[in-house]
Amino acid sequence: MKGRKILAIVLILTLCTSLLFGCSGEKNTQATTEKPKVDSSEETKDKTEKNETEKENTKLAQMEEALTNQLNPMPELNKGEKIGVLIISLTNPFWANMKSCYEEAGKELGIDVEVMAAPSEGDTTSQLETLDSMAVKDYNAIVFSPIDGNNLIPGIIRANQAGIPVINLGPGVNKEALKKQEGHLDGVITVDFENQGKMVAEDMLKNMPDGGKVAIIQGIPGAGQSEGRTKGAKETFEATEGVELVSIQPGNWDRNTAYNIATDLIQANPDLKGIFCCNDVMALAAVEALETAGKRDGIIIYGVDFTKEAQEAIKEGRLDGSITYSPKIYTKAALLLALKLSQGQEIKEPVYSPLIVVNRDNVNEFDGWK
């Protein structure tokens, strides 16, 4: 009898242990198969970011298509060519970004790219000396952007004599002066600077329905991009009824100079309604000058280049707008043109990059712009 009681107790304990482990196993199975809950706000954020990326990719794809259509047929890639690039100066954020874009495009295309620059945006002599040194190197082609229309002509001629194809990107060379000295360009890739000024002025005027006084702060006098942008904006302002262009002054691409000009402008014209600056460095300086003077409200300020600093200022509501093209696509197209020329192909017509105006209404569509 006593033995039966002990056996019954053992059976009960065994049964309870089985049930305990059975329940525990069921819970573990449920825990491993149950899907984690997704925060709906995070899901919405992911979708928004995806949509913005798609918008960005569409813009870049359209710009790349417009440029590559002008370059067809494409050159052979990954043949190890060495391309020299001479930009204006790394003191300007735009050109610093262009250097990075050239180097990234070179890796993508299988090209050895070497980027050189002048010490400052006005140092025409140093830029020529740099091009002279490049003309004796073993480059398959050289892409250059001159400080003004004449400063690099002797270096271009030396590259011609060395048999190195030369491509003028951006600011133009004085072709008549170059031709008189029996020099030539092998290719040109640029933007329509006059149209840049026109497009910016038109966008500014949309925010000035009652017209008013406007001013232009130029870059370096004689520089192709400065002259073109000024001409396009000047003609647009002067052709608009109710708009008075009260001042055109050279800011020399310099922040301090532009700051002082903007300060003087609002003192001489307290009813000023708009300032067009021929690059973003000067536009941001004008913004600071007006903020310091407590006169920022009611005055429209636009720049050119859409640098990262300008993008942030537009988002913050401090700067009203800028105009851009994709440095990533622009530099890649320039290197493709250099490859075509080094491989014996010809491009007889200039290659033009499309332009896009960025303002407070559409700036969020340009997140990740390159």
Report how far residue 109's alpha carbon sits from residue 78's, in angstroms, rounded to the nearest whole number.
6
- Residue 256's CB is within 10 A of a number of other CB atoms, namely 11
pLDDT by residue (tens digit) across 288-311? 999 999 999 999 999 999 999 999
Q: Using H for helix, E for strand and C for coil, what is the string for 102-145?
A: HHHHHHHHCCEEEEEEECCCCCHHHHHHHHHHHCCCCCCEEEEC
Question: Which amino acid is located at 257 in the chain?
Answer: T
Which tens digits make up the pLDDT trace of 130-179?
999 999 999 999 999 999 999 999 999 999 999 999 999 999 999 999 99
Give tens-digit pLDDT for 48-75: 444 444 455 577 888 889 888 999 999 9
In the predicted model, residues of the chain with pLDDT beneath 50 are: 1-54
- Domain(s) of CATH 3.40.50.2300: residues in the chain: 54-191+327-355, 193-324
**CATH architecture entry for 193-324:** 3-Layer(aba) Sandwich (3.40)
Strand partners, 352: 190
Q: What is the pLDDT of residue 120?
A: 93
pLDDT of residue 112: 96
> Which pLDDT value is given to residue 12?
36
What's the pTM?
0.78
CB-based contact 97:307 (threshold 8 Å) = yes
Instruction: Report the C-alpha gap between 287 and 79 in whole angstroms.
Output: 47
CB 111 within 8 A of CB 83: yes
At the topology level, CATH places domain 54-191+327-355 in: Rossmann fold (3.40.50)
